[in-house]
Amino acid sequence: MIEIENVRKSFGPLEVLKGINLTVQKGEVLTVIGGSGSGKSTLLTCINGLEPIDSGRILVDGIEVHAKTTDLNKLRRKIGIVFQQWNAFPHLTVVENVMLAQVKVLKRSKAEAEAEAVRQLKHVGLSDKLNVYPSRLSGGQQQRMAIARALAMSPDYMLFDEVTSALDPQLVGEVLDTLRMLASEGMTMICVTHEMKFAREVSDRVAFFDKGVMAEIAPPEELFGAPKDPELRKFLAATH
Amino acid sequence: MFDTALTANDLIFLAKGAGMTLIVTGISVLLGTILGILFGVFRYQVGPWWAAPLTFVLDIFRSIPLLIQLVLANAFVTTVLGFRISGFTVACGVLSLYTSAYCAEIVRGGIESVPTTLRRAARSLGMTWGQDMRSIVLPLATRVALPSWIGLALGVMKDSALVFIVQVVELLKSTQILITRLQEPLFLLMICGLFYFVISFPVARLGGYLERRWSND
């Protein structure tokens, strides 16, 4: 369970999170929508401790992310994150990309790590690309590799930060299909996305962020069918 | 047609000089690179403000002609501090610091060339700062820094000619000794140049070889 309690966060004079309260249950798929600069991506990087917060707290399975005593490197094994930029390690082959953290962080043997890497890459449909370098992959393939890399750490939670935003339109589908597959397998996921159709399909709940505030949260049929927040109505009208 | 007083023994004398050039260069580049990596990583980690004192010292090493550094360091260490150390040690010490000053900049540039998003990705997989440095930053920064580093190594090899000022007989000094004796400056300088080329060329080629090997990604 991820519990976010009254989290505030500023970048200099700009307050990007103005007291967010949110709980994500195990097995839940939450999508977060909202305009640019609404704070939704920042929230994700706060959840795995990449960004510090100014006040409030975030608990992952009861462990306070930003407590001084928390071993962030250990906590991050529970939380996979995939970014807008796919961030393939360019000097490693696809299979090595997926093996690296398993060997370094989880101390798996090379053979174990490779077996798991092959399994995850097969899962995301890249079994024919194991030994090529990322530069030979399309953006969609690199993004799926990044997803496999995060999954290979056997995380309990997956965070997706606009993972299709930097992709050519024809490549978006393959990545969304991968996310749909994960959702159907019961992975706990928080997806920040601009893909409204996707949000409507896979989510248990959808949250709408507006200027650092979570303006509305509801199951998709409710949020898209009968939006209450006026900003959300404007947002939905503009994106349709 | 062509007549020279150069003997096989003289060639051996030159080869010994070349050996000294190689040793001084080898030690200085090795120590200078290790120090340069430490200084470069430090400068990158702590930011420009806290690194200012170090940056200033390194700028001194980069700005003052090596010849002056060697003379002053030698005088300071032997006369002022009264240490009885050889010119060779002084030469290696000064040249190492001189190398490290340049190397620190190369290292810093290399680290800065690694996208922060890539490092965030590594950290978000649970990798520690050290693991990120070793497995991601070091290999990628090396690829970027290598051409400059090769240039630095070749430069230091030629700059090492200046250590004659602290009584180290390296290749150029050996040549000068022979010139004084044989009075055949142009011929001897040609041979000296050839020696420099022979010891520099493999280093220059090493860069090309590594770049080709890494070009798969």
Condensed to tens digits (0 to 9), the pLDDT of residues A187-235 reads: 999 999 988 988 998 899 999 999 889 999 999 999 999 999 999 999 9
Residue B217 lies in a domain: no
Do A76 and B126 count as a contact with CB atoms less than 8 A apart? yes
Question: What CATH number corresponds to the domain at position B88?
Answer: 1.10.3720.10
Q: How far is CA A162 from CA A82, A190, A195, A204, B54, in A?
A: 8, 11, 9, 18, 41
Helix (H, G, I), strand (E, B) or coil at A188: strand
Give me chain A's average pLDDT, please: 91
Mean pLDDT for back-to-back runs of 10 residues, chain B (217 residues): 79 92 95 95 90 92 92 90 88 95 94 93 93 93 92 92 88 91 90 92 87 75
- The pLDDT assigned to A96 comes to 95
Closest listed residue to residue B21, CA positions, set B165, B174, B150 = B174
Residue B164 lies in a domain: yes
Write down the H helix ranges in A65-202.
72-75, 94-104, 110-123, 139-151, 169-184, 196-202
- The pLDDT assigned to B81 comes to 86
- The answer as to CATH 2.60.40.1760 being correct for domain A2-239 is no
Separation of alpha carbons B107 and B104, rounded Å:
5
Residue B4 lies in a domain: no
Pair B47, B68: CB distance under 8 Å: no
- The pLDDT assigned to B167 comes to 85
Question: Taking the model in full, what pTM does it have?
Answer: 0.82
Do A104 and B120 count as a contact with CB atoms less than 8 A apart? no
Do A153 and B126 count as a contact with CB atoms less than 8 A apart? yes
- The pLDDT assigned to B85 comes to 87
Residue A133 per-residue DSSP state:
-
| Mean pLDDT of the region A16-39 | 91
- The pLDDT assigned to A31 comes to 94
Prediction ipTM score? 0.85
Give the count of beta carbons closer than 10 Å to the beta carbon of residue A22.
Answer: 19
Set of chain B residues whose Cβ sits within 8 Å of the Cβ of A74: 126
Domain that holds residue B163: 9-210
Count up the domains in chain B and report the number: 1
- Is pLDDT of A58 > 90? yes
Residue B23 lies in a domain: yes
- pLDDT, one tens digit per residue, over A106-146 is 999 999 999 999 999 998 889 999 999 999 999 889 999 99
Structure tokens at A142: 């690199």
Structure tokens at A222: 């409710």
Set of chain A residues whose Cβ sits within 8 Å of the Cβ of B118: 87, 89
Do A101 and B128 count as a contact with CB atoms less than 8 A apart? no
Nearest-neighbour CA in chain B from A149: distance (Å): 8
> Is B140 in the A-facing interface, judged by CB distances under 8 Å?
yes
Higher confidence at residue A21 or residue A86?
A21
Residue ranges with strand state E in chain A: 2-11, 14-24, 29-34, 55-60, 63-64, 79-82, 157-161, 188-192, 205-210, 213-218
- C-alpha distance across the termini of chain B, in Å: 56
Do B214 and A91 count as a contact with CB atoms less than 8 A apart? yes
For A88-92, A177-181, B5-9, which range has the lowest pLDDT when averaged over its residues? B5-9
Structure tokens at A157: 């939670």
